[in-house]
Amino acid sequence: RDMAGSAPEPKAIRGRLLSFTAEPSGPGDTASYRLIDDGLVVVRDGRIAEVGEARSLLPGLPPGTPVDHHPHGLIVPGLIDTHIHFPQTQVIASYGAQLLEWLNKYTFVEEQRFADPDHAARNASFFLDELLRNGTTTAVVYATVHPGSVEALFAESERRGTAMIAGKVMMDRNAPPGLRDTAQSGYDESRALIGRWHGRGRQLYAVTPRFAITSTEAQLEAAGALNREFSGVYMQTHLSENLKEIETVRGLFPDARHYTDVYDRYGLLGERSLFGHCIHLEDDEVRRLSESRSVAVFCPTSNLFIGSGLFDLERLARGRDPVRVSVATDVGGGTSYSMLRTAAEGYKVLQLGGQNLPALSAFHMMTRGNALSLGLGGTIGTIEPGCFADLAVLDARATPAMAHRMETVDGDLEEELFVLMTLGDDRAVAATYVQGRRAWDRDGGMGMVGAV
């Protein structure tokens, strides 16, 4: 069943609209966003054709144009998750281990099941359902070592019209035989997948050496070669997540100055490179990430759950050598698909370090900020003409506890956003649109569809 591209055009989505225009400097920065109390998004060919006040735009629409009205919702750009593992939907919530043991005991066992294309397809479908239920419309995704797992994910994403950035995990040592490729086969398979999927519709490829422990020098070299050969592909890996991991990397790469240098030597740093975690970095590593315009990915629920450590946002984003930062769930090390919950845990991680995460900054990160970290500003992450009409409709009164708390919020946007991120999860996502099509609808569309 083709779910993409079948809706009549144009169509419109009406409700309270929130979109960022700049990075908030702190609480109360009303210049960083645009809020329209009764706004309208007009969609043509999956893209936003016009945005503005409903009363000004409605009269100009052709008679019969369908309008989805969300009088009680807050419409934000579709949320963006910059680091998640789709083969870990049945690893999430695995008890009692830190990183290396967790990988061996749970993750590497589960990922072997993705040799079976049916298993991969079933999980890809579940995974995208779950993202959309959580208001996430773009994600940067690790598949497994099996090319078929990437195929399954992209095929499902293409069917739904979502934009996914994904890649085959490259792993040629320190993993079970069933999960190993070689420097050559990892290169060849990645190359074939790039040819097939990179830039096909909305799908983009990320070269994905899992992390330094599971790749030989020859494989990292091959990953670097792919990066050089195909400008425009992304690179994703893990960096400096756990102390035992860092010690192991030091033993495997005795000539490297530090963990970041292992990747640096093979040309893996750059503005399309995403490094998950970045918790225990030395100053020189921060400097190299900064110089290379690489992205450090903050994965708060994962860092707490696997006991990895506390991300230092202040040092990375606003230190002497500023590093571009994005935010992500890292399911299944992470414990929630919800970017709202992720923001809540991010807030708590920063609190433990005496730092802050204002609601405006959190919502900026989940939308425009993450889009910019992917170089996709102006196509996703904001509600403006030319962007894809990927939207999430949030409901700050989704649960009794939220509705009760909201009784004390008198129209203050930042308080509402903070309630949403602190108490909200998938229940607070009333609907999700992908290219203007309703891809998730919590309430079954009850009473919201009309026409001009």
The residue to which tokens 């079948």 are assigned: 6
The option from ligand GUN, Fe ion, none interacting with 107 (CB < 5 to 8 A, set by class) reads ligand GUN
Please report, as residue ranges, which positions from 314 to 333 form the binding site for ligand GUN (by CB under 6 A). Answer: 330, 333
How many residues bind Fe ion (CB under 5 A)? The answer is 2
302 scored as a contact of ligand GUN (CB under 6 A): yes
Q: What is the C-alpha to C-alpha distance for residues 222 and 209, in angstroms, rounded to an integer?
A: 10
Q: Which is nearer to ligand GUN, 36 or 99 (CB)?
A: 99
Size of the site for ligand GUN (CB under 6 A): 11
| Cα distance between residue 186 and residue 333, in whole Å | 24
Integer-rounded Cα radius of gyration of the chain: 21
The amino acid at residue 169 is V
Residue nearest to Fe ion (CB): 330
Check residue 139 for interaction with ligand GUN (CB under 6 A): no
Nearer to ligand GUN by Cβ, of 32 and 240: the residue is 240
Listed in sequence order, the residues at least 6 apart from 154 whose beta carbon sits closer than 8 Å to its beta carbon are 164, 166, 197, 200, 203
Which among ligand GUN, Fe ion, none contacts residue 241 (Cβ within 5 to 8 A by kind)? ligand GUN
Tell me if 87 contacts ligand GUN by CB under 6 A.
Answer: no
Close Cβ partners of 353 (under 8 Å, ≥ 6 residues apart): 310, 312, 314
**Contact partner, 13, from Fe ion, ligand GUN, none, Cβ < 5-8 Å per class:** none
CB 136, min distance to ligand GUN, A = 18
Residues 6+ apart with CB under 8 A from 46: 5, 161, 388, 389, 435, 436, 437
* 276 sits near Fe ion (criterion: CB under 5 A): yes
Contacts of 267 (CB under 8 A, 6+ apart): 224, 227, 228
The distance of closest approach from Cβ of residue 279 to ligand GUN in the complex, given in angstroms and rounded to an integer, is 11
The single residue listed with the structure tokens 């956003």 is: 417
Task: Choose the binding region for Fe ion from 93-101, 187-195, 207-215, 274-282 (rule: CB under 5 A).
Answer: 274-282
Q: Compute the least distance from the CB of residue 238 to Fe ion, in Å.
A: 6
Instruction: Return the range that interacts with ligand GUN (CB under 6 A); candidates 55-63, 99-107, 252-260, 410-418.
Output: 99-107
Closest CB to ligand GUN among 224 and 300?
Answer: 300
Structure tokens at 450: 């009309």
Residue 337 found at the interface with ligand GUN (CB under 6 A): no
Which tokens sit at 430?
A: 């009333």
- Alpha-carbon span 391 to 414, nearest angstrom: 19
User: Residue 191: left if φ>0, alpha if ψ -120 to 50, beta else—which one?
Assistant: alpha
Residue 210 within binding range of ligand GUN, rule CB under 6 A = yes
Whether the Cβ atoms of residue 139 and residue 274 lie closer than 8 Å to each other: no
Whether 363 and 340 have beta carbons less than 8 Å apart is answered as no
- Asked if 300 interacts with Fe ion (CB under 5 A), we say no
Kindly state the smallest distance separating residue 331's Cβ from ligand GUN, in Å. 9
Tokens matching residue 351: 């609190």
Strands (E), 144-265: 163-167, 169-170, 204-209, 234-239
| Residue 170: strand pairing partners | 209
Q: Which does 236 bind (CB under 5 to 8 A by kind): ligand GUN, Fe ion, none?
A: none
103 binds ligand GUN (CB under 6 A): yes
Nearer to ligand GUN, 77 or 333 (CB): 333
Q: What is d(CA 438, CA 49) in angstroms, rounded to the nearest whole number? A: 17
C-alpha to C-alpha distances, 389 to 9, 345, 392, nearest whole angstrom? 12, 28, 10
The residue type found at 101 is E
* Contacts with ligand GUN, 159-198, as mask; x by CB under 6 A: ----------------------------------------
Site map 343..362 versus ligand GUN, x via CB under 6 A: --------------------
Give me the DSSP letters along 140-151.
EEE--SSHHHHH
Task: Assess 280 for contact with ligand GUN (CB under 6 A).
Answer: no
- Least distance to Fe ion, CB of residue 113, Å: 18
Query: Mask: binding to Fe ion, 314-333, rule CB under 5 A, as x and -?
Result: ----------------x---
User: Cβ closer to ligand GUN: 88 or 373?
Assistant: 88
CB atoms closer than 10 angstroms to residue 58:
17
Give yes or no for residue 211 binding ligand GUN (CB under 6 A): yes
- In terms of CB distance, is 251 or 444 closer to ligand GUN? 251
Min dist CB 342 to Fe ion, Å, is 13
Torsion of CA 191, 195, 197, 199, to 10 degrees: 120
Based on the shown chain and the rule CB under 6 A, indicate whether residue 395 belongs to the binding site for ligand GUN.
no
* Residues engaged in binding ligand GUN (CB under 6 A): 85, 99, 103, 107, 210-211, 238, 241, 302, 330, 333
* Residues engaged in binding Fe ion (CB under 5 A): 276, 330
